[in-house]
């Protein structure tokens, strides 16, 4: 058994809770959200889009299957911490290489258990996502409140600078084959693309490769002029804009870069943050949802076919309905009617808000990667 120490949680609405710590120690400030996925906690913890956030799992027991190298969605764990009802420190799974608490400690992420996560989730649904502080060092409510008030809000922090790759690299594997316990070899590519890394998940890159694209991942600092020059020379056929953390409205450089790519008619495909940045670069600012969409069970309607797809989602921000002035809506969320996908009318650009790569989650939307390749080929 892992030794459990007291840890204290203070939310910006004044709520103080006590739990037990099973991850890293210390004091962290971040935004608290809840995730309704039934499986895939390792993929969630290592998704760079959660940088700056505490993730409350609605699944009551976490840790059962341990962690392994194959299920890492990036090189590290990026969230501030996770909050669970019950933690299982002794996993039972033939794929397990280490328990979750060891992964959290290695990447300096708080683990909090013995908390009523149902109550927390209901609080967030009623009052919305909010900032919080958690500490294994401080228990006084007044001191926690002071530290939280003095800390920057998540909407003020550019986490992309931390999660983006520092050097370009080629991604050469396809999706993971659970029967062979290995990643597929890359098929012969039909197109060459550059992936702008705002915090990209590994399985997105796997799906791009699996769909028939040679993928070069580049830092978010790469200049638009460099990409445009490479496109005009025929060196690349398109640009992928990845998922990532934080408020898209503070990403001024990224907005300007994408606006230049739009003007140059470079084919583009965006997922999640990339989808939002495309909207902003076109002049349509995003807005924040009350508590966001986080989970692996969100129904989305494909407007073109009428099919309902169960999707994985992770976002707090959404594009406005006025985007229909310049784009055709391709997907809508059946929970709240928000826009989940668009295809721009005057540009070779498409984007989706949900995660067609899943990981964790269902695979019903992975065809979208093939739609990007078809658009490039046309």
Active site (catalytic) residues: 272, 355, 357
Over the range 129-155, which residues count as b (16 or more CB within 10 Å of their CB) and which as e? Answer: bbbbbbbbebeeeebbbeebeebeebb
Tell me the residue length of the chain: 378
Q: What dihedral do alpha carbons 126, 127, 129, 133 form, nearest 10°?
A: -120
Tell me the sheet residues that pair with 173.
185
Distance CA 59, CA 85 (A): 8
Angle, CA of 281, 159 and 12, to the nearest 5°: 105
Name the CA radius of gyration of the chain, rounded: 20
The three state secondary structure string of 150-167 is HCCCHHHCCCHHHHCCCC
- The region that residue 211 occupies, defined by phi over 0 for left and psi between -120 and 50 for alpha, beta otherwise, is alpha
Distance CA 373, CA 369 (A): 7
Question: 158: which residues sit within 8 A by CB, 6+ positions away?
Answer: 246, 250, 251
Distance CA 346, CA 93 (A): 50
């Amino acid at each position: 058994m892992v030794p459990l120490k007291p840890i204290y949680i203070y939310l910006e609405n004044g709520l103080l809770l006590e739990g037990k710590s099973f991850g890293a120690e210390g004091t962290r400030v971040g935004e608290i959200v809840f995730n309704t996925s039934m499986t895939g906690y390792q993929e969630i913890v290592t998704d760079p889009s959660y940088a700056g956030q505490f993730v409350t799992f609605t699944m009551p027991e976490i840790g059962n299957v341990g962690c392994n190298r194959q299920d890492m969605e990036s090189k590290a764990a990026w969230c501030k911490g996770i909050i669970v009802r019950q933690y299982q420190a002794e996993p039972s799974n033939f794929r397990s290489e280490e328990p979750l608490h060891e992964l959290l400690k290695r990447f300096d992420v708080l683990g909090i258990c013995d908390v009523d996560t149902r109550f927390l989730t209901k609080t967030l649904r009623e009052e919305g996502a909010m900032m919080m502080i958690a500490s294994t060092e401080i228990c006084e409510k007044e001191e926690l409140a002071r530290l939280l008030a003095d800390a920057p809000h998540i909407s003020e922090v550019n986490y992309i600078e931390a999660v983006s790759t520092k050097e370009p690299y080629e991604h050469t594997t396809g999706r993971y084959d659970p029967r062979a316990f290995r990643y597929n070899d890359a098929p012969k590519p039909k197109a060459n693309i550059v992936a702008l890394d705002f915090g990209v998940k590994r399985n997105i890159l796997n799906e791009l490769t699996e769909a028939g694209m040679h993928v070069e991942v580049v830092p978010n600092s790469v200049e638009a002029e460099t990409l445009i020059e490479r496109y005009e020379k025929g060196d690349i056929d398109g640009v992928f804009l990845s998922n990532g953390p934080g408020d898209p409205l503070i990403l001024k450089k990224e907005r300007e870069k994408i606006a230049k790519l739009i003007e140059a008619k470079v084919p583009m495909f965006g997922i999640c943050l990339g989808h939002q940045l495309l909207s902003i670069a076109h002049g349509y600012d995003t807005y924040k949802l009350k508590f966001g969409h986080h989970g692996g069970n969100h129904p989305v309607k494909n407007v073109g076919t009428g099919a309902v797809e169960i999707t994985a989602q992770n976002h707090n921000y959404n594009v406005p309905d006025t985007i229909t002035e310049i784009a055709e809506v391709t997907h809508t969320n059946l929970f709240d009617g928000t826009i989940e996908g668009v295809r721009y009318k005057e540009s070779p650009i498409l984007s989706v808000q949900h995660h067609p790569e899943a990981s964790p989650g269902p695979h019903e939307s992975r065809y979208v990667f093939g739609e990007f390749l078809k658009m490039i080929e046309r």
